[in-house]
Amino acid sequence: MEIRYSTHPDHAKTFNTEEIRKHYLIEELFVPGEIKLVYSMEDRTITGGITPINEMISLEGYDQIKAAYFLERREVGIFNVGGSGKVIVDGEIYEMENKDCLYVGLGKKELLFSSDSNENPAKYYLFSAPAHKEYPTQQVAFKDIEGERLGSLENANDRVIRRMIHNEGIQSCQVVMGMTQLNTGSVWNSMPTHTHDRRMEVYLYIELDENARMFHMMGEPTETRHIVMKNEQAVISPPWSIHCGTATSNYTFIWAMAGENKTYNDMDQVAMDQLR
């Protein structure tokens, strides 16, 4: 498990391109047959990818979290961004189609991940945070969430947001997760932009063409920087940072938050004339 430390906004202002990428960008999450995990000191979250090939992969405890099993003191939200597969939670089988979401709470001991085919393997995206209470394991199929239309084609941000793990959906201690899909011709996400000092956030960009690139914006509103990203890469946003972006084609992204509270709408909007 890779460790990323928290960064102070004054320090972040001094980062060159390589440094900003090293601290915030998660370049590779889905490696066939492997588990990739990144522990961030921002709200002690773990962002990861599991891509089972040939055999099941078991998610276990790690020395870095001094846990006998992964969910000993944590909860996890899981999205499948690949082909169909199965997640087995303490013997209970959950069929996971593309974009389906599963929440597994504190205390579950055995977590097994499999793909239905090696040609089109499942790709499980994980986001985990410390938990103080056990909430039931719950699954939601992508097709069963209607979504809410945001933005407009005129502003190149016509998109549909689906909230899966949140106050009015799957219950959790800290984790809030959902998926936003940009419609054809729209490229801007999360604009006007915002911060939420109470929660960190991670964006995983998916369904971006191979040769397309995402220009993800971050930093304090008056000190913005960008990171150029490819498909299936994730980016850590510290609580003080804006997080929004534009790409050279449309795409989908999974947003995941953890921190002080789970109130989705309590974000602090940034006025356009504040941005620098």
Ligand X SMILES: O=C(O)C(=O)C[C@H](O)C(=O)CO
Least Å from the CB of residue 203 to ligand X:
7
d(CA 124, CA 113): 8
Nearer to ligand X, 89 or 201 (CB): 201
d(CA 197, CA 194): 10
Nearer to Zn ion, 52 or 178 (CB): 178
Closest CA to 199 of 160, 165, 233: 165
Least Å from the CB of residue 125 to Zn ion:
17
Torsion angle, alpha carbons of 170, 175, 176, 179, to 10: -90
Least Å from the CB of residue 203 to Zn ion:
9
Interaction partner, residue 189 (ligand X, Zn ion, none; CB < 5-8 Å by kind): ligand X
In the complex, the residues that contact ligand X under the rule CB under 6 A are: 150, 159, 161, 180, 189-190, 196, 201, 243, 255, 267
Nearer to ligand X, 55 or 266 (CB): 266
Torsion angle, alpha carbons of 175, 178, 166, 189, to 10: 100
Tokens of 224: 């913005």
Interaction partner, residue 159 (Zn ion, ligand X, none; CB < 5-8 Å by kind): ligand X
Interaction partner, residue 180 (ligand X, Zn ion, none; CB < 5-8 Å by kind): ligand X
Nearer to ligand X, 105 or 259 (CB): 259
Least Å from the CB of residue 247 to Zn ion:
17
Torsion angle, alpha carbons of 204, 205, 211, 215, to 10: -90
196 is in an annotated binding site: yes
Instruction: Report cis status (omega within 30 of 0) of the bond before 238.
Output: no
Interaction partner, residue 262 (Zn ion, ligand X, none; CB < 5-8 Å by kind): none
Q: 188 has which bridge partners?
A: 246
Tokens of 245: 């972006």
Nearer to ligand X, 114 or 193 (CB): 193
Least Å from the CB of residue 267 to Zn ion:
6
Work out the burial of residue 126: count CB atoms within 10 Å of its CB; fewer than 13 is exposed, 13-18 middle, 19 or more buried: buried
Nearer to ligand X, 99 or 159 (CB): 159
Work out the burial of residue 210: count CB atoms within 10 Å of its CB; fewer than 13 is exposed, 13-18 middle, 19 or more buried: exposed
11 is in an annotated binding site: no
Site for Zn ion, residues 188 to 207, rule: CB under 5 A: 201
Interaction partner, residue 108 (ligand X, Zn ion, none; CB < 5-8 Å by kind): none
Q: Mention every residue, 6+ apart, whose C-beta is less than 8 A from residue 124.
A: 49, 50, 51, 52, 78, 79, 80, 81, 82, 85, 87, 96, 113
Least Å from the CB of residue 243 to Zn ion:
6
| Residue numbering of the annotated binding site for Zn(2+) | 194, 196, 201, 243
| Residue numbering of the annotated binding site | 194, 196, 201, 243
> What residues make contact with Zn ion under the rule CB under 5 A?
201
